[in-house]
Each structure stands twice: as C-alpha cells, then as structure tokens.
Amino acid sequence: MAKLFFETYGCQMNLAEADSLVTKSEQRGHTIVECPEDADIIIINTCSVRLTAENHVIGRLGYYRMLNKERHDRDLRIILMGCMSENVGLEVKKQFSDIVSILWGTYNKDLFLDYIEDLVVKQESLGFGAAYSFMPATPSKEYSFKAFLPISHGCNKHCSYCIVPKVRGLEKNRDFQEIIDNAKQLVDEGVKELCLLGQTIDTYKHEGKRLPDLLETIARQSGAERITFLTSHPREFLYETIELMNTYSNMMPFLHLPFQSGNSRILKLMKRNYNIEEYLEKVENIRKIRPDIILSTDIIVGFPTETEAEFEDTLKAFKTVRYNEAFMYRYNTRPNTPAENFEGQVDEEDKLRRLDILVRTHRGIMSELLAGQIGSKTTALFDRESKYSDKIFAETGQKQYLGRTLNNTVCIVDSSVDLRGNVLAVELYDSLNAVMKAKLI
Ligand code: SF4
C-alpha cells in the first residue's frame, strides 16, 4: 500500500473530486499523509484556468525535484492530474520527466487507483477521453459538514478566454436518481450544507428532469439544512431556481452569476452570448422574485482591445448591481484558447490599474451592503476558528468562530463553546471589513 499526498488547485469541482479520491484511496488501504515529504506518490490535481495556477504547479514540481534528489531510500512519483495534464501535460512531463510518472486527464480520475500499486506500468498518459464517470461525492475533507456534489461535468459553451471546454470536454450530466441518492447519503454522514456543482449548472438535464427538479427533490427529500449551487450562466439561468428559494427554507438565497464585462462589444468578443442589457434585466427580475438575494460574480478586466470607456461600462454595471462578493481578475492569455491570438492585448499596467479601481469600488459597495444587514436575524453554519482566536482567547477567555449565514455572508462570533459544524441562530450587530459581527440568539 502506498503513502499518498494530494495537492489540489482550482475550482470547487477539483476540490470535490479530490475529496472523493481521498476517500476512495483510504478505502483501498492507502495512507493519506499530511506532508509531501512523507509520500511515496504525490497526486497534483491541477488547474489551467489562470496562468498563476499553472505557474504555481511548475514551482511545486521544481521543489519536488529537489526533494527527490535528497531522498536515498525511494523515488518520489508524481501523478499530474486534471486540466493542466490535458492542456500542457506533455510539455510539463518532458520538463520534469525525472519525477512526473503519469499524466492523468480530467476523466475517470478514480481509475488511477488501479495503477498506483504498480507505478512502473507502461501507460504514461491516462484518464483522457470521451467516457466520464462521476465519483460519489464525499463530505469535504476540510469541513465534514459540507460537501460539493457534482451534477454535471464539462461545458458546451465556448467562451473565447476559457480553457474548460478543452480540458474538461463537452457537458455530461449525471444520473438524476444517483445525485439524489448521493445527497441523502451525504446527509446521513453528517453533511449539513450541499453545494451542487456544474460548469453551467442551469443546463443540467437528465431524462427530462432539469436543475429546478433536482433542487426541489433534494430540498424536499435529502434532509440537508442548506442547499446552494454553482455556477449559473446568465444566458441559461432559470428563474424557477430563485422561486424555489421562496418555497424551501433550506435553499440558500444566494446566486453566483458571472457577468465578466459590462460592455456588450467585449461580451461578444468573449462569446458570452448575452449583452449587458439582457444581463441587467435578469438581475432585476431575480430581485423582483427574491429582493434580499445575495449576488456574487466574476469579472475580467483588460480583455483584448478593451478601451478605457469599455472598462467604465464594467464599472457602471458593477455599481448598478452592487454585488456582495466579486472575484475580479485581470485577463491573462491562456494557451489553446481562441483569445490567445486576439490582437490588441491591453498593457499590463492598464490592466492592473483597472483591477485596482474595481477592487476599491467593490470594497466600498461591500461595506455599505454589510452595514445594511446590521440588526438582521438569520442562521449561520460555523466552519472554522478565526486566525485571531488564540489571541482573543488569551484576552477574554472566549474563542472566535467564523461561519456563513444562510445568504452566504461571512459572520464572526465570540464563544466559549466550540461552534464548528453547527447551524445556529444569530443576530448580526455590526460589520467589520468583509465580515459581519454576530451574536448567538
Ligand atoms: S461557460 Fe464559458 S467560462 Fe464558463 S466554463 Fe463554460 S466556456 Fe468556461
């Protein structure tokens, strides 16, 4: 049996798959080690969406090469798994042929366990191809009371900046009943919050059943205390999913709806298939159904040819919607995407300046929105201690716990009892930077 170390980068889908792999590895009798220095085999579950994620993995491989040279008892083996393997795996393997034993793509990740016992097998590139099998989701290794539950894999969109369709292939939907059974199983194992995952989750379809059917069945039957889903595509988005939030109290009133740019010409270049007017109309309709919904988004600044005026459009749309949470990036070229060859790349300096303006704008909006929640009562699922907990404990005898409210806002509570893993009623009484101060009620 092998000692395995898992290292995971990127999206929630990667995290969900890694959690399942860790569970399966343990069931097969392998030992999961806490640090790479103790491992026989390191599995790096990679991400190719941004250059920084790829560079980080290259840096890690450099470190592992050094680690391997210092070892005298056994060789370190590395399985490079996931999106980077699909995208640039052969180049990486060539560069690190001394330590990277296997390239494993984004398909059938669980089957790699069949190869672990004998890593000198001939195959060097595995897990690529058309057949994708969903692994049963398991409770998160970080927080056992939460779980990511993949319901689809891959994407049929072809946004010009995105590597996902290339590295994860076309969309494949998971069996409806299998998802329901998996959801119930997770709740039986102690999971309180389920997050359904799909690259464009609104397009889920299986034997006539769609996302609202799935959410409703899970809300009614699984026993989960909180249910949410990621990621919605503005064009495909279904209003029924918001209506369910009004019917089922365990549906979190939270929606991640990336808009990427506030300018319709740029959206067209990005091949997003909606314009900004359509996007804003959707937001307005969503808020008519659920006025207190919390929205989050993804934004890219400095897409090729984006002018200053077009960036201003993004800023304007951003201020119109007023997102509670925003994941903001400056565009960087990804190899093997259509936008790689676009002319009119924006200067790095301009991208950074635009990003800085956006980030500062977001901070201002977020603190106003948080202030607007002062005095409200809700529930929160507590998942961790704050990094200041020990300091607070030394001063007050109480520790500090962080949780997420039902609408996904981060809150912080002082308590002499360990709150982790509990869903508790709270009152939000103040805001501090990006979090709400709360007390138990
Ligand atoms: S919708 Fe666009 S950005 Fe999202 S995964 Fe698909 S191709 Fe990528």
Task: For the chain, give every domain's residue range.
Answer: 3-126, 146-371, 377-440
Q: Which atom of ligand 1 is nearest to the CA of 158?
A: 7
User: Which pLDDT tens digit goes with each residue over 186-235?
Assistant: 999 999 999 999 999 999 999 999 999 999 999 999 999 999 999 999 99
Predicted pLDDT of residue 397: 81
pLDDT of 103 over the 70 cut: yes
pLDDT of 71 over the 80 cut: no
Whether the CB of 267 sits within 6 Å of ligand 1? no
Nearest CA to ligand 1 atom 8: 162
Q: How confident is the model at residue 123 (pLDDT cuts 50, 70, 90)?
A: very low
Predicted pLDDT of residue 120: 39
What distance in angstroms lies between residue 231's CA and the mean position of ligand 1's atoms?
9
Whether the CB of 183 sits within 6 Å of ligand 1? no
Nearest CA to ligand 1 atom 4: 199
Nearest CA to ligand 1 atom 1: 157
Predicted pLDDT of residue 414: 92
Predicted pLDDT of residue 110: 74
pTM: 0.83
Higher model confidence: residue 304 or residue 132? 304
Q: Which atom of ligand 1 is nearest to the CA of 233?
A: 1
Q: Which atom of ligand 1 is nearest to the CA of 199?
A: 5
For residues 36-56, average pLDDT: 87
Q: Which atom of ligand 1 is nearest to the CA of 271?
A: 2
Predicted pLDDT of residue 117: 62
For residues 95-115, average pLDDT: 82
pLDDT of 131 over the 70 cut: no
* % the chain with pLDDT above 70: 96
pLDDT of 73 over the 60 cut: yes
Whether the CB of 232 sits within 6 Å of ligand 1? no
Whether the CB of 155 sits within 6 Å of ligand 1? yes
Predicted pLDDT of residue 122: 41
Higher model confidence: residue 289 or residue 389? 289
Whether the CB of 36 sits within 6 Å of ligand 1? no
Q: Which fold has domain 377-440?
A: OB fold (Dihydrolipoamide Acetyltransferase, E2P) (2.40.50)
Predicted pLDDT of residue 93: 87
C-alpha angle with apex 167: 235 to 4, nearest 5 degrees?
125
Q: How confident is the model at residue 408 (pLDDT cuts 50, 70, 90)?
A: very high
For residues 299-326, average pLDDT: 97
Predicted pLDDT of residue 269: 97
Beta carbons of 355 and 300 less than 8 angstroms apart: no
Whether the CB of 159 sits within 6 Å of ligand 1? yes
Q: Which of 59-73, 165-179, 367-381 has the highest mean pLDDT?
A: 367-381
Q: Which atom of ligand 1 is nearest to the CA of 231?
A: 4
Predicted pLDDT of residue 12: 87
Mean pLDDT (the chain, rounded): 90
pLDDT of 178 over the 70 cut: yes
pLDDT of 322 over the 90 cut: yes
Q: How confident is the model at residue 17 (pLDDT cuts 50, 70, 90)?
A: confident
Check if CATH label 3.80.30.20 holds for domain 146-371.
Answer: yes
C-alpha 331/C-alpha 343 separation (Å) is 13
Q: Which of 115-124, 128-137, 265-274 has the highest mean pLDDT?
A: 265-274
Q: Residue 328: beta bridge partners?
A: 299
Ligand 1 pocket, mutate which of 48, 200, 256 (most atoms under 8 A from CB): 200
Token pair listed for 416 = 């002499």
What distance in angstroms lies between residue 157's CA and the mean position of ligand 1's atoms?
6
* % the chain with pLDDT above 90: 65
pLDDT of 349 over the 90 cut: yes
Measured in whole angstroms, the distance separating CA 214 from the mean position of its chain's CA atoms is: 20
Predicted pLDDT of residue 128: 57
Query: Which architecture, in CATH terms, is 3-126?
Result: 3-Layer(aba) Sandwich (3.40)
Predicted pLDDT of residue 238: 95
Predicted pLDDT of residue 265: 98
Which H, E and C letters describe the chain, residue by residue? CCEEEEEECCCHHHHHHHHHHHHHHHHCCCEECCCHHHCCEEEEEECCCCHHHHHHHHHHHHHHHHHHHHCCCCCCEEEEEEHHHHHHHHHHHHHCCCCEEEEECCCCHHHHHHHHCCCCCCCCEECCCCCCCCCCCCCCCCCCCEEEEECEECCCCCCCCCCHHHHHCCCEECCHHHHHHHHHHHHHCCCCEEEEECCCHHHCEECCEEHHHHHHHHHHHCCCCEEEEECCCCCCCCHHHHHHHHHCCCECCEEECCCECCCHHHHHHCCCCCCHHHHHHHHHHHHHHCCCCEEEEEEEECCCCCCHHHHHHHHHHHHHHCCCEEEEEECCCCCCCHHHHCCCCCCHHHHHHHHHHHHHHHHHHHHHHHHCCCCCEEEEEEEEECCCHHHHHHHHCCEEEEEEECCCCEEEEEECCCCCCCEEEEEEEEEECCEEEEEEC
Beta carbons of 47 and 84 less than 8 angstroms apart: yes
